[in-house]
Amino acid sequence: MRLLQWNWSWNWNPRPKTHFAIVLTVTLLATILSIVAFLYSYRQITQNPIVEGIVVKSVTGGDDMQTPIIEYSSPTNDRKRFKSKLRSNRQLYFVGDRVEVILIGSDYKPKLKSFLSVYGLSAFLALFASISAVSTTVIYNSRIKSRERNK
């Protein structure tokens, strides 16, 4: 019957080495994914054509988020418009602003070239991995030191 009882006290913790191994694995995985996302973004910028576009309109959604609509010239010399996926609370792009547009793939799918749209995922994963690594190391060291004091 002892196996079915839970220890709900606040000072119960699994072994620090087990926690350290789990979080270190997650940190390494996030680091690897961050590097892969960065290399993919870098490849997008270097291997796809980049054209100049002009913000022709700024649309406000029901949630007060601003979204720019951009007009650009495609490689086939057609003028096309697209609604950016980059939205913000305050308006970042105004009508008449010149922006860079990345044309991705063989069908030239447009994407606004900005830090968040290009490197946002890799930056988030790198930040997550850094915070995870630092906090895990601090917590692990503090638990080891508290164990040594209690001996």
Going by pLDDT thresholds of 50, 70 and 90, the confidence category of residue 14 is: low
Contact present, 69 and 57 (Cβ < 8 Å): yes
pLDDT band at 21 (very low <50, low <70, confident <90, very high): confident
Q: Kindly state whether residues 32 and 58 are assigned to the same domain.
A: no
CB 70 within 8 A of CB 56: yes
Q: Given pLDDT bands bounded at 50, 70 and 90, which one contains residue 151?
A: low
Beta strands in the chain (DSSP E): 50-60, 66-73, 79-83, 98-104, 109-112
Q: Do 35 and 94 belong together in one domain?
A: no
Choose among 60, 46, 135, 140: nearest CA to 92. 60
Asked if the model's pLDDT at residue 119 lies above 60, the reply is yes
* Residues 41 and 84 reside in one and the same domain: no
Considering its fold, how many domains does the chain have in total? Answer: 2
111 lies in the same domain as 53: yes
Pick the residue with more confidence: 133 or 11? 133
For residue 9, the SS3 value is: coil
Domain containing residue 26? 19-48
Both 72 and 99 in one domain: the answer is yes
Q: Does some domain include residue 8?
A: no
Question: Tokens 């961050």 — which residue?
Answer: 34
Return d(Cα 105, Cα 108) in angstroms, integer.
5
101 shares a domain with 57: yes
